[in-house]
Amino acid sequence: MTRVAAAAVAGLLIWLFVAVNLFCFPPPARPGSADAVVLLGGASAERLPTALALFRELPGDPTLVLSTTDTAANAAADAMCREPEPGLKLVCFHPDPRNTRGEADALRRLTELHGWRSVIVVTSSYHVPRAGELLGQCLPARVRMVGTEPRLNTFQWLRRFVIESGGLLDVALRPECR
């Protein structure tokens, strides 16, 4: 029984180490140029400033693409879609279903429609691995992920670790758009 408990604790510690490194510290993005900057739905108060800054720094005539969800967590992006800034090249979409898989499918269609060859996708750091994998499976364009830093307490981070670990397993077992 002691060996089983020790193995369980060791497994938990290994998972925790991997989760912290994977979800808290995604690799740094090198945005460069892109045809579009995409903001995934949720936590828009955290994510939207980063997406707007990247959009405004890009050369050429990029498009800002916002996922709308009509939820409290996405209020800032939803408001921008309802009342866009004058002159802003903006595309808003409502994913169906209202999750990352729905966003991946909708973005595949938008990418094909607009002929985008490269997109920068902004989401929370914990969401970068799973969203990046899904979008890489679906989009016929180069996808570069940019993670923002959420303000979460220890228990919220642990919850995200469990959710995102399960999500990565789901993406591996049930690929999207293929």
What integer pLDDT is reported at residue 27 of this predicted model? 66
Domains in the chain and their CATH numbers? 2-173 (3.40.50.620)
What integer pLDDT is reported at residue 105 of this predicted model? 95
Confidence of residue 24 (pLDDT cuts 50, 70, 90): confident
Confidence of residue 18 (pLDDT cuts 50, 70, 90): confident
97/103 Cα distance (integer angstroms): 8
CA distances from 37 to 57, 65, 66, 123 (A): 11, 6, 9, 11
Q: Which of 173, 144, 42, 165 is nearest to 102 (CA)?
A: 42
Please compute the mean of the pLDDT values over residues 141-160 and round it to a whole number: 93
Long-range contacts of 12-15 (CB under 8 A, 24+ apart): 15/161, 15/165
What integer pLDDT is reported at residue 28 of this predicted model? 67
106-127 confidence digits (pLDDT tens): 999 999 999 999 999 999 999 9
Look at 49-53, 71-75, 162-166, 173-177 and tell me which has the smallest mean pLDDT. 173-177
Q: Report residue 62 as tokens.
A: 């990029």
90-103 confidence digits (pLDDT tens): 999 999 999 999 99
Residue 152's SS3 state is coil
What integer pLDDT is reported at residue 96 of this predicted model? 93
Is residue 23 predicted with pLDDT exceeding 80? Answer: no
Q: Which of 45, 28, 24 is nearest to 120 (CA)?
A: 28
25-41 confidence digits (pLDDT tens): 776 666 678 999 999 99
8-state DSSP, 92: E
CA distances from 167 to 117, 126, 132 (A): 27, 11, 12
Instruction: Give the pTM.
Output: 0.89
Strand order in the sheet with 142-148: 90-93, 63-67, 36-39, 118-124, 142-148
C-beta of residue 52 within 8 angstroms of C-beta of residue 20: no
